[in-house]
Structure 1
Amino acid sequence: MHGFFLLHVSHTHGLQKHSADARAFSFIKILNLMQNMSYPPQMLFVENVVGFEVSDTHDQLLEVLSSLNFNLQEFILSPLQFGVPYSRPRYFCLAKREPMRFQNASVNNKLLRTPMCLSQTVTSTSQDSDHQTEEEQDPVCKPVKDFLVKEADGCIQNGTILQDYIVPPNLIERWGNAMDIVYPESKRCCCFTRSYYRYVKGTGSLLATSENLQWVPEEKLPISSLKELRLRFFTPREVANFHSFPSSFWFPDHISFRQQYAMLGNSLSVAVVGPLLRYLFAEA
């Protein structure tokens, strides 16, 4: 069997360049090569940011897959739908070339926003879920505290978080009103980007570690109160936990914090990709 595994990000939210984005060139090159292969891949897995599904690059993907007789199923899924308190919706395309078929062929050529059809039995295509929020689709998530490092992990000493992870007061003064703050009991945190730890605005959530204050999301606390929350960055190990990496995963000592966060920000959610791959490789 000639397999093929592809991961790529080509869509730009702000400029909407689509296929004109330089990051799409390699993707389009691969699509063109596939049409001239003597032995095209039999299975294809594509991951991308949300928005790719309405780009012209996506249209080219579907055109090529159709010309090569692929059955395909598309998804927009988030770890929140798999019990992980982490909002990271992503686009996925699974494709099998004829005569290979999916176990749930009734949802071929549909864009699904639920993981329901990843099981062997499907009662509906969940079309009504297209306008649901991630929480409405699967509201049962573990709390953030289940993903925090323990003292044995080396990130906590004598019950105190290492100073490297504490958010400096000057950053709170400048960006406090733009920070996304979560507590250990929270059931959701924002997506961590490759710029997490270097910047605090729009790069991921911060953890409030004070035990004396209660965070009210609907209200904006004054800067003085934010400083009392004892905010800290999530550690690289914790970000890896939100991505459902195994406990055996670790970075070499020479990899800096910033490099670790950058690689994690560009990585995948194992909780989401694992079931998708099992479904892709399952025989009909």
Structure 2
Amino acid sequence: MEEVVNCRILEFYSGIGGMRYSLMKAGIKGEVVEAFDINDTANDVYQHNFNHRPFQGNIQTLTALELDKYRADAWLLSPPCQPYTRQGLQKHSADARAFSFIKILELIPHMLQPPQMLFVENVVGFETSDTHEQMLEILRKIGLITQEYILSPLQFGIPYSRPRYFCLAKREPLSFHNPSYNNKLVFTPDPLIMLESIKPMDGELSQDNGLEEPNISCQPIKNFLEIEPLFNQHGALSFINEYDVSMVDSEDGSDNTWNEGCGPKDMESTTGPNKIVEEIERSDANKSPLDNYCVPISLIERWGSAMGILIYHCFTSRFPLFRDVIACIFNYPCAFHDCPEKKLPQHETDIVFPDSKRCCCFTKSYHRYVKGTGSVLATSEVSQNGSLKKPDICSLKHLGLRYFTPREVANLHSFPEDFHFPPHISIRQQYALLGNSMSITVVASLFRYMFAQPS
């Protein structure tokens, strides 16, 4: 097995650098000769981490002659997903946000040096759009062979349910290692496995074995948290620093209730990878940095009926992974394996624990809205007894619910430790940018497969 080396790569819709980090993780020997993105804030983050500012003009103004000058072997594209999401208007190619992608594709037949490889990432739903039809028609006219995938980080051992559509295209004489998957849509990473050291997750949907009982072998969520959780004798979350938790006794002698904070009352700065520098700088002196991420009691009282608990670490029943993928596609997180399908829309806010082995997709609206934008973390232990039971609002108040921090969301997207946001990027902007990003672990695996060339 050989690798296509010394590739010149163009990165379209570069965002905060997910594609480039994926290339690095995959060990691709190539050069990103230019990146393109119209978002000024995203370009600030990209420049901060890569020392290069992407081209910020409207890529619809690019010509075939200008693209030829880059002499790029591979194009990587992650066009806007809004025209294809279930929550959107689903205008597909008629949506103005789809115009630039279509325009770029239409330029390829007019180029003297068209790309030899193409990679496209988008949301599930893109594969049923008319934009997808136009893309395949153009690629086939210019002699590119495609393999299409719908994959989730769950299939790579990451406890994060984020199924996405991917298209890999190569022009002869280049070819794929597994040509039997040419011109097909695949729901399993099986074709990638021979080039990987990872082992496929049980329970994947493949073209050969259909549905199987899943083996929940993902890492626990606690491996991706900024602070390692430890539950104390009160059942409340403590930390490796072993500071006091913000629990207070009620005046009437009833059960303990959570104060406004959900973590340590006071936390000093720590060293090492768990340091939360930005949050500490923005917090009050007498406030834990994680207090900024607590779910307000008022929201719990308002939306408590819509909250379910994902307790996958005590998961014992048969639950085909395919159903989980479908649930995520329709944004109905499966909080309870025995919940009737018609009831699923009620459970759009999901609570996970540090030992849970999956959480739901984080959108760009996470932290702004509590429903349907991503899981929240319970920082207080509850008695589960191996059962999946919907808690009432009163018990929800005792869970010490907080949002995942931007760094934790970045961890679940597999961004490296040396990835940082510039100081001027607000928390809200960080969530929005991460919500528009991608799983580096998944994309890196696809890159290793696409850039490999059979001997």
TM-score for both structures, normalised by structure 2: 0.58
Partner of 1:139: 216
Residue of 371, 395, 399 corresponding to 1:201: 371
The whole-number CA distance in structure 1 between the counterparts of 2:159 and 2:123 is 19
Match of 1:11 among 84, 87, 90: 84
Pick from 56, 67, 71 the counterpart of residue 130 of structure 2.
Answer: 56
CA–CA distance in 1 between the matches of 2:224 and 2:137? 41
- Runs of 4+ aligned residues of structure 1 deviating over 6 Å after TM superposition are none
Q: Residues 43 and 111 of structure 1: is their aligned pair in 2 closer, same or farther, counting only changes over 3 Å?
A: same
Q: Which moved more, 1:31-40 or 1:46-55?
A: 31-40
Query: Aligned pairs, how many?
Result: 279
Instruction: State the AA in 2 paired with 1:146.
Output: N
Partner of 2:422 in structure 1?
252
Change (3 A) 1:50 1:216: farther
Moved more, 25-34 or 68-77: 25-34
The question of 1:126 aligning with 2:126 is answered no
Helix, strand or coil: the match of 1:181?
A: strand
For 1:183 and 1:175, the matched residues in 2 are separated by: 19
Shift of 1:220: 2.5
Contact 1:103–1:120 (Cα < 8 Å) also in 2:
no
CA–CA separation in structure 1 for the residues paired with 2:291 and 2:194: 48
Q: CA deviation at 1:13?
A: 1.8
The separation in 1 between residues aligned to 2:104 and 2:385, in whole angstroms, is 48
Contact 1:46/1:94, CA 8 A, preserved across alignment: yes
Q: Classify the secondary structure of the residue corresponding to 1:35.
A: helix
Partners of 1:249 and 1:36 in 2: CA distance: 38
What is the identity, as a one-letter code, of the residue corresponding to 2:216? P
SS where residue 94 of structure 1 aligns?
strand
Q: Contact 1:104 / 1:120 at 8 angstroms: preserved in 2?
A: no
Shift of 1:101: 0.6
Aligned to 2:434: 264
* Distance in structure 1 (CA, Å) of the matches to 2:385 and 2:297: 18
SS in 1 for 2:160: coil
| Structure 1: gaps of 5 or more residues | none
Give the match's secondary structure for 1:162. helix
Post-superposition offset of 1:215: 9.1
Specify the alignment match of 2:23 in structure 1: none
Q: Distance in 1 between matches of 2:447 and 2:299?
A: 41
Q: How far is 1:161 from its partner?
A: 5.8
- In 2, distance between residues paired with 1:86 and 1:102? 28
Aligned to 1:182: 352
Q: Deviations over 1:89-110 (max 9, x none)?
A: 0000000112211111111011
In 2, Cα distance between the equivalents of 1:244 and 1:45? 19
Aligned to 1:106: 180
Q: Deviations over 1:238-257 (max 9, x none)?
A: 10110011111111222111
CA shift, 1:214, in A, is 3.8
2:367 and 2:431 in contact (8 A); partners too:
yes
Amino acid at match of 1:275: S
Q: Which of the pair has more CA radius of gyration?
A: 2
State how far apart, in whole Å, the 1-side matches of 2:401 and 2:185 are.
39
Tell me the CA shift for residue 132 of structure 1: 4.1
User: For 1:249 and 1:105, how far apart are their aligned partners in 2?
Assistant: 36
- Correspondent of 1:165 among 269, 290, 293: 293
Percent identical residues: 61
TM-score of the pair, normalised by structure 1: 0.90
Separation in structure 2 between the aligned mates of residue 105 and residue 172 of structure 1, nearest angstrom: 51
For 1:154, the equivalent position in structure 2 comes to 275
Compute the RMSD of aligned alpha carbons.
2.5
Name the stretch that deviates more: 14-23 or 226-235. Answer: 14-23
Q: In 2 relative to 1, CA 191–84 (structure 1 residues): closer, same or farther, beyond 3 Å?
A: same
